[in-house]
Amino acid sequence: MLKAYINKFLIVLVLILMVPVYVVAALNQPTDVPAAQDTTKTSKPNAKKNENKSNAVKKDAKANTAKKAMFIEGQDYTRLPNDVRNNPDVAQLIMADPNKVQVIFFFSYGCHGCELFHLPYQKWAAAQEKKLGNKVAFYRYPVSFNPQWRMLAKLYYTMEYLDPKGKLNDAIFEAIHKQGLQLWQEPVMQTFFAKHGYKPVDFSHAFNSFGVNRQMKQADEISKTYKITLTPDIIVNGPDASYRLDLTKADNKVDRFFQILDYLVQREVKLLPSK
């Protein structure tokens, strides 16, 4: 009987000794909850890091875009000296449009570059008028570098006299450069206008009118004052300064030329005095 008690005592003792082992094992066993918490803690910094990287890329892109939009005076366009702007003819022209930026297009119907340039210019000018409204004024002056171009300048003002909206402008460029018409000859001019519905008597009246001759003289004076020596050429009269743009400074690239012109006009419009 004593032996039986001893055996029971030994069994109980063994069970008591094993309990701490199971408790320690249970305490050391990893659970799912802390693991989930650890994952969350590590994912947030990574997400933040990616977001910061994305923002940095966007900032760099904006900075590059702004840098590309900037153009350099003397390299991409030329600031005209004050004596040009203070010339009486130029001063009178500027005074005609207070609180406006003026864009002046010097050209000739005989200029092949002008023939390629005038349609993109018309498109650009129309977009500026729509965007800026009465903040910009546009002018065209034909130049007379030689006798033929002088007759073509007279052709331009005759066209304006008969067709104030300039509907024949494109047709004149096409007739000279694609059809080979010698529109610097008066009889050829008369035939051209007759073909487009204008009577010879109306053409002669416009061609020999005082208004046409006066406009030609004014165009000659303005082009000489601005020292125009090539075409196409653009002058921008801002509120405080005047600038010249030509295709050579844009590497003869029309798209780049209009980027420079657009930048300059937008900048000068911002300098206009508020009403």
In the three-class reduction of DSSP (H, G, I as helix; E, B as strand; rest coil), residue 66 is classed as helix
Domain CATH for 166: 3.40.30.10
Q: What are the tokens at 270?
A: 């911002």
Residue 214 belongs to a domain: yes
Residue 2 belongs to a domain: no
Residue 32 belongs to a domain: no
Residue 174 belongs to a domain: yes
Domain that holds residue 199: 79-270
Percent of the chain exceeding pLDDT 70 equals 75
Which residues are CB-neighbours of 121 under 8 A, at least 6 positions away?
105, 232
Residue 31 belongs to a domain: no
- For the segment 14-68, what is each residue's pLDDT rounded down to a tens digit? 444 454 444 334 444 444 434 444 434 444 455 555 555 555 544 444 444 444 5
Counted domains in the chain: 1
**Does the predicted TM-score (pTM) go above 0.85?**
no
242-246, strands of its sheet edge to edge:
78-79, 242-246, 233-237, 101-107, 136-142
Residue 216 belongs to a domain: yes
